[in-house]
Structure 1
């Protein structure tokens, strides 16, 4: 076989675990691509055939392209003034009365055109891509009405036409209660399930449906179930913001619906964790949000490990609780704050992140999968988790290109 392209003189971190080597390292390896997919992986000395294009990597490390499986990339405005007010001692209520909180982002996003949303997102997206991200998930959730939710998702769907990446979208209309439904959260949840979600599904704008389950500031388990039932009728998989601030049984709810993932999960109970593991639901940790809101209740990593739960890491990039467009920073935070191992953290932004999006065609360096690669000028993979604020990415390959 003549390959389209071969990468030589590289060390490979395949993320295909084997006994004694959870990273699946191949020293002095090679990767060959054909028709946008990985055609061959192994030691350079065993490489068969030739290639139309050969790239020498000068000893760089190659990993599967990184996957950011939880972002709120599309929004207008920022919440820097709110951040400043919190540091000056203002309460949540005072900030809300001054026009802050999530509804300030909702107002700004509702006022923004689709073009404006795209242009605002590109600098944030570029920072993620520069670190080696090749696949990203983008949620709506700052419209809380049909026109703006649709506009956010359309803006997100335009990004692959402007940058080289693969993108998934999630409808998060059940993110908060909008001002026009103040005091009527249950009625808004019905509106999402019966009106917004079917319209978005009919237009084909969402790859999944998300919701925020929280008994104090989000939606109850019953209200979330209305939304998830509507998602099932529309043939869309579900994800859930679950058990971030308290144990509301969100993880068990997500597992019961066979959710792709339950995200945040700082307060997940052992029973909820076990249910997720049994259902195949991925647990997505968001250490940037944990850090930014100064949370003190750590996720139960030991129980997650014992249950065999697949753990992913993501940025949660958003204007309110995690204004951090850096997946490499999340690797460090995942290891430093949550005590993940290097292997766990790297799996969290590759193969487990792919599973959190329901994408079986990426996440490891395996023949037959998409040829999505990230190249780094490092001495060993642990450097990606070790450095704070350093970006050693040398380049990306998306779909073989």
Structure 2
């Protein structure tokens, strides 16, 4: 077997659904050819091969590259002032109704040049890459007009071409009503659904369609119109659901067989059961839960009971989750929501891949999948959720290309 690279002298957390915890192989090896895993298994079973390059990892653990399946990475400005307001007692809803929140980020994003949006997003991305991320989802939703929404999505596509990660984009036009349409809300809904989404789709900028379904955002009826349009265009959907109240978002996501329903702190049992039947992934966002000082956690036991896959993501955004560390998100999921470390790692790999519709491509260490890997200086996989702030990533591989943490993070070696 010919290979571009042999990775050996390592322990593998394959994250396949195997009998062993973490799908672990204690003394493993991986052969990589043309950016994909050509063979993976116990080193004792390594087939005859010719590898151009050999990387010996001195017993380090290898996992699939981590996947941040819910971010708002591209935006202008920041909202540290609103952070102070919340600490002084203001609620998220009060800030939003006073013209802050998403609309504040909208103003800064509309004013920012594409180059500036790219530079600031890539700076935030360094924190994700330094914590093992090889794939990131990036939403629009801070433009809220045609030009700015397309600008955000173009920046996201550029990040995928140039910044050493895979990128999936989500169009989030139904995120908030911009000020110029407050007197005529239906006109904005029409614009978002019938003008901006088709324009973004024609340019090839959209991988999925998202919406924010809450009393302070958009209704079940409005979101359904958007999802019907997405279906016409052949695009999968996902939903910000039941974060602040039980608005039936989980059931709505299930009705449209969404890739995921995200947040879901207030989802009811019937909605969770519907998600399980429809195969909708629950994306848990502990960063927002922490920063908003919420007290109602997602219904983890109900999710387990109904067999709903649980992904974990940072929700990196300027207002409610300024989190740029995937391992921190995993730690918070364990501490706040009582996930096990194995559940959290599955949530950042196998289940996150499913939440992006990429299960056939990434998320586990299996033959034929992309050679996106993270290598860790740990003695057991649980340490990925144990340390908070300690640098534990040794290196990443994206399509078999080795990359290191830090600003000069991508090297074609």
TM-score, normalising length: structure 1: 0.97
| Closer, same or farther: CA 92–381 of 1 in aligned 2, 3 Å | closer
Whether contact under 8 Å (1:243, 1:265) holds in the other structure is yes
- Structure 2 counterparts to residues 123-272 of structure 1, below 5 A: 123-214=123-214, 216-272=215-271
Gaps of 5+ in 2: 402-413
Offset from partner CA, 1:192-251 (integer Å, 9 cap, x none):
11111111111111100000001x201110000011111111111101000101111111
**RMSD of aligned alpha carbons:** 1.4
The match for 1:71 is 71
Offset from partner CA, 1:91-130 (integer Å, 9 cap, x none):
6687568753221110000001111100111110011011
The match for 1:27 is 26
- Structure 2 counterparts to residues 288-303 of structure 1, below 5 A: 288-303=287-302
SS of residue matched to 1:128: helix
The match for 2:313 is 314
Structure 1: distance between partners of 2:91 and 2:301: 34
The alpha-carbon deviation at position 186 of structure 1 amounts to: 3.3
TM-score, normalising length: structure 2: 0.94
The alpha-carbon deviation at position 187 of structure 1 amounts to: 3.2
The alpha-carbon deviation at position 87 of structure 1 amounts to: 2.4
The alpha-carbon deviation at position 16 of structure 1 amounts to: 1.0
The match for 1:353 is 352
Offset from partner CA, 1:50-82 (integer Å, 9 cap, x none):
311110001110000000000000000000112
| Closer, same or farther: CA 198–388 of 1 in aligned 2, 3 Å | same
| Closer, same or farther: CA 386–317 of 1 in aligned 2, 3 Å | same
Offset from partner CA, 1:146-193 (integer Å, 9 cap, x none):
100000000111113332111100000100010011143333222211
The alpha-carbon deviation at position 86 of structure 1 amounts to: 2.7
The match for 1:108 is 108
Whether contact under 8 Å (1:3, 1:49) holds in the other structure is no
Whether contact under 8 Å (2:93, 2:216) holds in the other structure is no
The alpha-carbon deviation at position 89 of structure 1 amounts to: 3.8
Structure 2: distance between partners of 1:87 and 1:349: 30
Structure 2: distance between partners of 1:43 and 1:205: 41
Structure 2: distance between partners of 1:91 and 1:176: 17
Aligned residues: 399
The alpha-carbon deviation at position 257 of structure 1 amounts to: 0.7
The alpha-carbon deviation at position 45 of structure 1 amounts to: 1.4
SS of residue matched to 2:59: strand
After TM superposition, the structure 1 stretch with the greater mean CA deviation from structure 2, 56-65 or 77-86, is 77-86
SS of residue matched to 1:390: coil
The match for 1:5 is 5
| Closer, same or farther: CA 217–96 of 1 in aligned 2, 3 Å | closer
Whether contact under 8 Å (1:212, 1:218) holds in the other structure is yes
| Closer, same or farther: CA 25–179 of 1 in aligned 2, 3 Å | same
Structure 2: distance between partners of 1:378 and 1:388: 13
